Amino acid sequence: MASENRTVLVTGGGGLVGKAVKHCIEQLGEHREGETWIFCTSKDGDLNDLESTRALFAKYKPTHVLHLAALVGGLYANMARNLDFFRVNMQINDNVLRVAHETDVNKVVSCLSSCIFPDDITYPIDETSLHMGPPHDSNFGYSYAKRMVEVLNRGYNEQHGRQFVSVIPTNVYGPNDNFHLHNSHVIPGLIHKIYLRKQDPEKYPFKVMGSGKPLRQFIFSHDLAKLMIWVVRDYFDKDPIILSVGEKAEISIRDAVKQICVGLDYPFEELEFDTSKADGQYKKTVSNEKLMKILPDFTFTPFDKAIKETCEWFVTNYDTCRK
Protein backbone atom coordinates (compact mmCIF):
# COMPACT_ATOMS: atom_id res chain seq x y z
CA MET A 1 0.00 0.00 0.00
CA ALA A 2 1.43 3.42 -0.94
CA SER A 3 1.70 5.93 1.92
CA GLU A 4 0.80 9.61 1.55
CA ASN A 5 3.92 11.67 0.85
CA ARG A 6 5.90 11.74 4.05
CA THR A 7 9.38 12.59 5.18
CA VAL A 8 10.65 10.57 8.11
CA LEU A 9 13.60 12.13 9.92
CA VAL A 10 15.59 9.56 11.89
CA THR A 11 17.71 11.16 14.61
CA GLY A 12 20.68 9.05 15.67
CA GLY A 13 20.62 7.67 12.13
CA GLY A 14 24.31 6.71 12.29
CA GLY A 15 24.00 4.57 15.42
CA LEU A 16 23.27 0.88 16.01
CA VAL A 17 19.49 1.16 15.66
CA GLY A 18 19.53 4.00 13.11
CA LYS A 19 21.78 2.04 10.73
CA ALA A 20 19.56 -1.03 11.18
CA VAL A 21 16.49 1.02 10.18
CA LYS A 22 18.43 2.29 7.14
CA HIS A 23 19.39 -1.29 6.24
CA CYS A 24 15.76 -2.42 6.44
CA ILE A 25 14.52 0.47 4.31
CA GLU A 26 17.29 0.29 1.71
CA GLN A 27 18.25 -3.41 1.63
CA LEU A 28 15.49 -5.53 3.13
CA GLY A 29 12.59 -4.34 1.01
CA GLU A 30 10.88 -2.11 3.60
CA HIS A 31 10.87 0.95 1.31
CA ARG A 32 7.44 2.33 0.37
CA GLU A 33 6.53 4.69 -2.40
CA GLY A 34 5.76 8.19 -1.17
CA GLU A 35 8.14 7.97 1.77
CA THR A 36 11.52 9.67 2.10
CA TRP A 37 13.70 8.57 4.98
CA ILE A 38 16.44 10.94 6.18
CA PHE A 39 19.09 9.47 8.48
CA CYS A 40 20.90 12.22 10.35
CA THR A 41 23.95 12.05 12.58
CA SER A 42 25.46 14.55 15.01
CA LYS A 43 27.42 15.96 12.05
CA ASP A 44 24.12 17.14 10.54
CA GLY A 45 23.23 19.01 13.72
CA ASP A 46 23.81 18.93 17.47
CA LEU A 47 20.47 18.06 19.08
CA ASN A 48 21.81 19.28 22.39
CA ASP A 49 21.51 22.74 20.94
CA LEU A 50 18.06 24.25 20.33
CA GLU A 51 19.01 26.42 17.36
CA SER A 52 20.87 23.61 15.70
CA THR A 53 17.81 21.36 16.21
CA ARG A 54 15.60 24.05 14.65
CA ALA A 55 17.98 24.33 11.68
CA LEU A 56 17.87 20.56 11.12
CA PHE A 57 14.06 20.49 11.12
CA ALA A 58 13.91 23.58 8.88
CA LYS A 59 16.23 21.88 6.39
CA TYR A 60 14.36 18.57 6.08
CA LYS A 61 10.78 19.59 7.03
CA PRO A 62 9.89 16.15 8.40
CA THR A 63 6.28 15.01 8.64
CA HIS A 64 7.36 12.16 10.95
CA VAL A 65 10.31 11.74 13.33
CA LEU A 66 11.87 8.52 14.58
CA HIS A 67 13.87 9.88 17.49
CA LEU A 68 16.77 7.55 18.32
CA ALA A 69 19.56 10.01 19.17
CA ALA A 70 20.73 9.70 22.76
CA LEU A 71 23.77 9.41 24.94
CA VAL A 72 23.91 5.61 25.22
CA GLY A 73 26.34 3.34 27.07
CA GLY A 74 26.69 0.07 28.92
CA LEU A 75 26.45 -0.54 32.67
CA TYR A 76 29.93 0.75 33.53
CA ALA A 77 29.63 3.93 31.42
CA ASN A 78 26.33 4.72 33.15
CA MET A 79 27.76 4.10 36.62
CA ALA A 80 30.63 6.50 35.92
CA ARG A 81 28.55 9.31 34.37
CA ASN A 82 24.98 9.30 35.71
CA LEU A 83 24.81 13.10 35.73
CA ASP A 84 25.90 13.37 32.08
CA PHE A 85 23.43 10.69 31.01
CA PHE A 86 20.62 12.63 32.73
CA ARG A 87 21.51 16.13 31.50
CA VAL A 88 22.41 15.28 27.91
CA ASN A 89 19.38 13.08 27.32
CA MET A 90 16.98 15.54 28.98
CA GLN A 91 18.29 18.31 26.74
CA ILE A 92 18.21 16.31 23.49
CA ASN A 93 14.69 15.03 24.15
CA ASP A 94 13.32 18.42 25.16
CA ASN A 95 14.81 20.03 22.03
CA VAL A 96 13.55 17.36 19.62
CA LEU A 97 9.99 17.25 20.96
CA ARG A 98 9.80 21.02 21.32
CA VAL A 99 10.91 21.64 17.73
CA ALA A 100 8.69 18.81 16.41
CA HIS A 101 5.76 20.61 18.06
CA GLU A 102 6.84 24.04 16.77
CA THR A 103 7.06 22.69 13.21
CA ASP A 104 3.81 20.71 13.29
CA VAL A 105 5.33 17.26 12.82
CA ASN A 106 2.50 14.69 12.49
CA LYS A 107 4.04 11.97 14.61
CA VAL A 108 7.14 11.43 16.76
CA VAL A 109 8.26 7.98 17.87
CA SER A 110 10.85 8.19 20.67
CA CYS A 111 12.91 5.42 22.14
CA LEU A 112 12.94 4.44 25.82
CA SER A 113 14.58 1.26 27.19
CA SER A 114 13.55 -1.64 29.41
CA CYS A 115 16.41 -0.76 31.80
CA ILE A 116 14.47 2.33 32.98
CA PHE A 117 11.65 0.36 34.62
CA PRO A 118 11.47 0.21 38.44
CA ASP A 119 14.06 -2.05 40.00
CA ASP A 120 11.72 -3.46 42.65
CA ILE A 121 8.79 -4.71 40.60
CA THR A 122 6.81 -7.87 39.89
CA TYR A 123 7.68 -9.77 36.71
CA PRO A 124 7.05 -9.80 33.86
CA ILE A 125 7.09 -6.02 33.54
CA ASP A 126 4.53 -4.46 31.21
CA GLU A 127 4.05 -0.98 29.74
CA THR A 128 1.95 0.28 32.67
CA SER A 129 4.65 0.17 35.35
CA LEU A 130 7.13 2.75 34.03
CA HIS A 131 6.73 5.23 36.90
CA MET A 132 5.90 2.81 39.72
CA GLY A 133 9.16 3.02 41.66
CA PRO A 134 12.79 4.10 41.41
CA PRO A 135 15.02 2.63 38.68
CA HIS A 136 18.16 0.60 39.45
CA ASP A 137 20.84 2.82 41.10
CA SER A 138 23.45 2.02 38.44
CA ASN A 139 21.70 4.02 35.67
CA PHE A 140 19.42 6.45 37.48
CA GLY A 141 20.48 9.39 35.26
CA TYR A 142 19.64 7.72 31.93
CA SER A 143 16.47 6.18 33.39
CA TYR A 144 14.92 9.35 34.77
CA ALA A 145 15.77 11.28 31.59
CA LYS A 146 14.11 8.60 29.46
CA ARG A 147 11.08 8.41 31.76
CA MET A 148 10.59 12.15 31.23
CA VAL A 149 10.03 11.51 27.50
CA GLU A 150 6.77 9.86 28.51
CA VAL A 151 5.89 12.93 30.58
CA LEU A 152 6.63 15.17 27.59
CA ASN A 153 4.64 12.94 25.23
CA ARG A 154 1.65 13.00 27.54
CA GLY A 155 1.88 16.78 27.87
CA TYR A 156 2.13 17.42 24.13
CA ASN A 157 -0.65 14.94 23.40
CA GLU A 158 -3.05 16.24 26.06
CA GLN A 159 -2.32 19.93 25.76
CA HIS A 160 -1.71 20.18 22.01
CA GLY A 161 -3.36 17.12 20.49
CA ARG A 162 -0.04 15.72 19.28
CA GLN A 163 0.78 12.13 18.33
CA PHE A 164 4.00 11.66 20.27
CA VAL A 165 4.58 8.08 21.37
CA SER A 166 7.45 5.96 22.65
CA VAL A 167 8.70 2.44 22.16
CA ILE A 168 10.52 0.42 24.82
CA PRO A 169 13.17 -1.97 23.46
CA THR A 170 15.19 -4.41 25.55
CA ASN A 171 18.98 -4.88 25.09
CA VAL A 172 19.85 -4.38 21.41
CA TYR A 173 22.84 -5.79 19.47
CA GLY A 174 23.88 -6.10 15.84
CA PRO A 175 26.12 -4.68 13.10
CA ASN A 176 27.23 -1.05 13.54
CA ASP A 177 27.08 -1.24 17.34
CA ASN A 178 29.57 0.67 19.48
CA PHE A 179 32.33 -1.92 20.01
CA HIS A 180 34.37 0.23 22.41
CA LEU A 181 36.30 -1.87 24.93
CA HIS A 182 35.06 -0.01 28.02
CA ASN A 183 31.99 2.16 27.30
CA SER A 184 29.98 -0.33 25.28
CA HIS A 185 27.21 -2.80 26.10
CA VAL A 186 28.06 -6.36 27.00
CA ILE A 187 27.70 -8.01 23.56
CA PRO A 188 29.76 -5.58 21.43
CA GLY A 189 32.28 -5.12 24.28
CA LEU A 190 32.88 -8.85 24.59
CA ILE A 191 32.95 -9.46 20.84
CA HIS A 192 35.82 -6.97 20.66
CA LYS A 193 37.65 -8.35 23.71
CA ILE A 194 37.37 -11.99 22.65
CA TYR A 195 38.42 -11.08 19.10
CA LEU A 196 41.62 -9.42 20.40
CA ARG A 197 42.34 -12.23 22.81
CA LYS A 198 42.01 -14.75 20.00
CA GLN A 199 44.68 -12.83 18.04
CA ASP A 200 47.11 -12.60 20.96
CA PRO A 201 46.17 -14.09 24.37
CA GLU A 202 49.30 -12.74 26.11
CA LYS A 203 48.76 -9.18 24.94
CA TYR A 204 45.01 -9.07 25.59
CA PRO A 205 44.16 -10.87 28.84
CA PHE A 206 40.78 -10.00 30.34
CA LYS A 207 38.06 -11.39 32.58
CA VAL A 208 34.35 -11.20 31.82
CA MET A 209 33.01 -8.62 34.27
CA GLY A 210 30.52 -9.68 36.93
CA SER A 211 29.16 -13.13 37.74
CA GLY A 212 27.53 -13.90 34.40
CA LYS A 213 24.28 -14.67 36.26
CA PRO A 214 22.14 -11.63 35.32
CA LEU A 215 19.40 -12.28 32.77
CA ARG A 216 18.64 -10.25 29.65
CA GLN A 217 16.25 -10.32 26.67
CA PHE A 218 18.46 -9.43 23.71
CA ILE A 219 16.84 -8.20 20.50
CA PHE A 220 18.64 -8.18 17.12
CA SER A 221 18.83 -4.65 15.70
CA HIS A 222 17.30 -5.69 12.35
CA ASP A 223 14.23 -7.15 14.10
CA LEU A 224 13.89 -4.02 16.23
CA ALA A 225 14.23 -1.84 13.13
CA LYS A 226 11.35 -3.63 11.38
CA LEU A 227 9.19 -3.14 14.46
CA MET A 228 10.09 0.54 14.70
CA ILE A 229 9.20 1.10 11.04
CA TRP A 230 5.85 -0.53 11.77
CA VAL A 231 5.31 1.77 14.77
CA VAL A 232 6.08 4.86 12.65
CA ARG A 233 3.57 3.74 10.02
CA ASP A 234 0.85 1.80 11.73
CA TYR A 235 0.81 2.12 15.54
CA PHE A 236 -1.69 4.77 16.60
CA ASP A 237 -2.02 4.16 20.35
CA LYS A 238 -0.76 7.02 22.57
CA ASP A 239 0.63 4.60 25.18
CA PRO A 240 4.13 3.12 24.84
CA ILE A 241 4.75 -0.37 23.52
CA ILE A 242 7.49 -2.81 24.56
CA LEU A 243 9.50 -4.15 21.59
CA SER A 244 11.09 -7.35 22.80
CA VAL A 245 11.59 -11.04 22.33
CA GLY A 246 9.43 -13.17 24.62
CA GLU A 247 10.14 -14.12 28.22
CA LYS A 248 11.29 -17.60 27.16
CA ALA A 249 14.10 -16.05 25.12
CA GLU A 250 15.63 -14.45 28.22
CA ILE A 251 19.19 -15.76 28.74
CA SER A 252 22.04 -15.30 31.23
CA ILE A 253 25.07 -13.15 30.44
CA ARG A 254 27.07 -16.37 30.74
CA ASP A 255 25.06 -18.01 27.94
CA ALA A 256 25.33 -14.88 25.80
CA VAL A 257 29.13 -14.99 26.20
CA LYS A 258 29.11 -18.70 25.23
CA GLN A 259 27.27 -17.81 22.03
CA ILE A 260 29.77 -15.05 21.22
CA CYS A 261 32.55 -17.63 21.65
CA VAL A 262 30.76 -19.86 19.12
CA GLY A 263 30.39 -16.88 16.76
CA LEU A 264 34.12 -16.11 16.98
CA ASP A 265 35.24 -19.73 17.22
CA TYR A 266 36.96 -19.26 20.59
CA PRO A 267 36.90 -21.79 23.50
CA PHE A 268 34.53 -20.51 26.21
CA GLU A 269 36.37 -22.64 28.83
CA GLU A 270 39.35 -20.29 28.60
CA LEU A 271 37.37 -17.33 29.91
CA GLU A 272 37.13 -16.37 33.58
CA PHE A 273 34.56 -14.18 35.33
CA ASP A 274 35.57 -11.32 37.65
CA THR A 275 32.91 -11.44 40.34
CA SER A 276 34.35 -8.35 42.05
CA LYS A 277 32.86 -6.26 39.19
CA ALA A 278 29.27 -5.01 39.31
CA ASP A 279 26.48 -7.21 37.90
CA GLY A 280 24.02 -4.36 37.45
CA GLN A 281 20.33 -5.18 37.52
CA TYR A 282 19.82 -8.93 38.03
CA LYS A 283 16.91 -9.01 35.61
CA LYS A 284 14.33 -6.77 33.99
CA THR A 285 12.09 -9.35 32.36
CA VAL A 286 9.44 -7.74 30.19
CA SER A 287 6.28 -9.12 28.62
CA ASN A 288 5.87 -8.63 24.86
CA GLU A 289 2.19 -9.59 25.06
CA LYS A 290 0.90 -6.23 23.83
CA LEU A 291 3.15 -6.43 20.73
CA MET A 292 2.35 -10.06 19.95
CA LYS A 293 -1.40 -9.45 20.22
CA ILE A 294 -1.10 -6.85 17.46
CA LEU A 295 1.55 -8.64 15.36
CA PRO A 296 1.03 -12.35 16.13
CA ASP A 297 3.01 -13.49 13.07
CA PHE A 298 6.16 -11.49 13.77
CA THR A 299 9.19 -13.77 14.10
CA PHE A 300 12.47 -12.88 15.78
CA THR A 301 15.84 -13.92 14.36
CA PRO A 302 17.29 -16.77 16.47
CA PHE A 303 19.99 -15.52 18.88
CA ASP A 304 22.70 -17.89 17.58
CA LYS A 305 22.14 -16.80 13.97
CA ALA A 306 22.10 -13.07 14.75
CA ILE A 307 25.16 -13.27 17.03
CA LYS A 308 27.05 -15.10 14.29
CA GLU A 309 26.07 -12.39 11.80
CA THR A 310 27.15 -9.66 14.25
CA CYS A 311 30.52 -11.33 14.91
CA GLU A 312 31.12 -11.74 11.18
CA TRP A 313 30.21 -8.11 10.58
CA PHE A 314 32.66 -7.00 13.29
CA VAL A 315 35.52 -9.08 11.91
CA THR A 316 34.88 -7.88 8.34
CA ASN A 317 34.56 -4.23 9.39
CA TYR A 318 37.20 -4.23 12.13
CA ASP A 319 39.23 -1.35 10.69
CA THR A 320 36.35 1.07 10.29
CA CYS A 321 33.75 0.18 12.92
CA ARG A 322 33.06 2.25 16.06
CA LYS A 323 35.45 1.06 18.73
Beta-sheet pairing, 251-252 with 215-216: antiparallel
Among ligand GDP, ligand NAP, none, what does residue 178 contact (CB within 5–8 Å per kind)?
Answer: ligand NAP
Task: Please say which residue, 6 or 322, places its beta carbon nearer to ligand NAP.
Answer: 322
Task: Please say which residue, 64 or 216, places its beta carbon nearer to ligand GDP.
Answer: 216
Check residue 76 for interaction with ligand GDP (CB under 6 A): yes
Q: Are residues 220 and 301 in contact, defined by beta-carbon separation less than 8 angstroms?
A: yes
Task: Please say which residue, 18 or 189, places its beta carbon nearer to ligand GDP.
Answer: 189
Spatial separation of the C-alpha atoms in residues 202 and 96, rounded to whole Å = 47
Residue from 185, 222, 226, 233 binding ligand GDP (CB under 6 A): 185
Task: Return the percent helix, strand and coil in the chain, to nearest 5.
Answer: 45, 15, 40
- Residues that bind ligand GDP (rule: CB under 6 A) add up to a total of 19
Q: Is residue 318 among the annotated active site residues?
A: no
Within residues 199-258, the interface with ligand GDP by CB under 6 A covers 208-210, 214, 216, 253
Cis preceding-peptide flag for 124 (omega within 30 of 0): yes
Which residues contact ligand NAP by CB under 6 A?
12, 14-18, 41-43, 46-48, 68-72, 92, 111, 113, 169, 171-172, 178, 185
Amino acid 123 reads Y
Q: Give the number of other Cβ atoms within 10 Å of residue 180's Cβ.
A: 16
* Residue 100: closest CA among 45, 40, 146, 58: 58
Active-site residues: which are they? 142
Residues that bind ligand GDP (CB under 6 A): 74-76, 115, 171, 185-186, 189-190, 208-210, 214, 216, 253, 277, 279-281
